[in-house]
Structure 1
């Protein structure tokens, strides 16, 4: 009976964690470049009431008898499938059609993102909403001076601007490729930090080694599917209710045992 209580408690805690993950996904349904999170659970260690026995002495083998002690959080992973496209017609809004990630640098640290909403700062550098510089192939910022008449971004990430009749190349947007993007660490602001398990393949030009092409005038939005999240939310809610029922039922049985003496 007490084992069922502990199992119910672990189930309630896991259901709450699942609701936390779902709530964060729904809260970021309109966040550009956001990648939804998925949570997986594992069973906890089991208590063995009788060990397994092999066949012998005229008897067949006997399986072990075990009682589970509940569940535990297995992993919370990020789903890096491509999000929905939103056309903005803003030339400094970029979408990656492929598996690469933009490289931005702030305070000397490189971060990675799929959020392509950039703009020009007062010095003409292309930066994101946090003022982090968009990096070019080989390193360095991409600058469009004030005297530029206009600029354009090619699918291979090459940024050019015109001054009079001259066309000048400002740089080529760098894209990072990871063998395990789910191993990246979220640091907020739609940014990711590299980890030992992300497997950075390299930072290259757009279109090389599967990094994808850059589409100007569009943004990649969140890959959250609201219908799926609502379904998972109902499942988590019912799981929470069922585990509370386990605790209530165990308590009623204990109460009956206490009342036996009376």
Structure 2
């Protein structure tokens, strides 16, 4: 069989994966805290028909002759650039301005990270996300007493509330997690990430606005960083690449048909 057929098949598979990633990006264009993904390809091993030779006293050097055998998937990377902020005027909608992640925990101690800052108060007054995971402060869960008249969240993560007597008290301070390689985080669904050995967790909880840490903006949500114009351009490129690889298979099939017809 012709090597071009297998090369075309590998290209079709890779461009299909690229289209899958693009489709997921477009589907999450309005998902708070979503970070777009990009795909890269790598060439497969090449078949060497003749090796390279160095120069001699009577003849110059000769390069190797190789035929490529197709392509393979290189990486699928999440791009953690800043998304634009959408103003909601909800004090529990929080956006991170800078690098970092909100830290969420389950009651069993499982830890998750997110850039999606749409939080709520449960029946105990504890700040949770839409799945009921607890937002972590520097001293653990953050609970606002049910008798509080109002509350506010400062840019350094401090959560203040007005008590029944009209005085101001502090319910806690939101902490952020920093990663040297946020691209290494693993997506867990529901806008959540899991730590991985390659994410480079620098410190479990850091104080916002200290030592270069990000600040927190209350009343806003960080939206997706997906650029529709870019995604549509990539989609057209992937579609044409897929079509070109199908044409390679069609052309190779026509050549094989001609070889079969030689017997007649």
Q: In structure 2, what is the equivalent of residue 233 of structure 1?
A: 235
RMSD, aligned CA? 0.8
Distance in 2 between the 1:83 and 1:151 partners? 26
Per-residue Cα deviation, 1:111-162 (whole angstroms, up to 9, x for no partner): 1100000010011000000000000014x10001110010011110000111
The aligned runs of 1:172-211 (5 Å cut-off) are 172-202=173-203, 203-211=205-213
Whether contact under 8 Å (1:8, 1:243) holds in the other structure is yes
User: What is the rounded CA distance, in whole Å, between the counterparts of 2:24 and 2:166 in structure 1?
Assistant: 50
Q: Secondary structure at the match of 1:208?
A: coil
Partner of 1:23: 23
Indicate the residue corresponding to 2:48 in structure 1.
48
Gaps of 5+ in 2: none
Q: Is the 8 A contact 1:100 1:210 kept in 2?
A: no
Q: Aligned with 1:6: secondary structure?
A: helix
> Which position in structure 2 is the counterpart of 1:252?
254
Cα distance in 2 for residues equivalent to 1:103 and 1:195: 15
Alignment of 1:49-64 (within 5 A): 49-64=49-64
3-state DSSP of counterpart to 1:77: strand
Length-normalised TM-score, structure 1: 0.98
State the distance in 2 between where 1:208 and 1:221 align: 24
1:222 maps to 224
Residues 54 and 60, structure 1, Cα contact 8 Å, conserved in 2? yes
Q: Secondary structure at the match of 1:62?
A: coil
CA deviations on 1:222-262 (whole Å, 9 max, x unpaired) are 00000100000000000000000000000000100111111
Find the residue that maps to 1:245 and give its secondary structure. Answer: helix
TM-score of the superposed pair, with normalisation by structure 2: 0.97
Q: Distance in 2 between matches of 1:199 and 1:260?
A: 62
The Cα shift of 1:57 comes to: 4.1
1:5 lines up with 2:2 in the alignment: no
Q: CA deviation at 1:167?
A: 1.2
Query: Structure 1: any 5+ residue segments left out of the alignment?
Result: none
CA distance in 2: counterparts of 1:9 and 1:2, whole angstroms: 12
In 2, the alpha carbon distance for the partners of 1:225 and 1:84 equals 11
| Alignment size in residue pairs | 261
Q: Secondary structure of the residue that 2:54 maps to in structure 1? A: coil
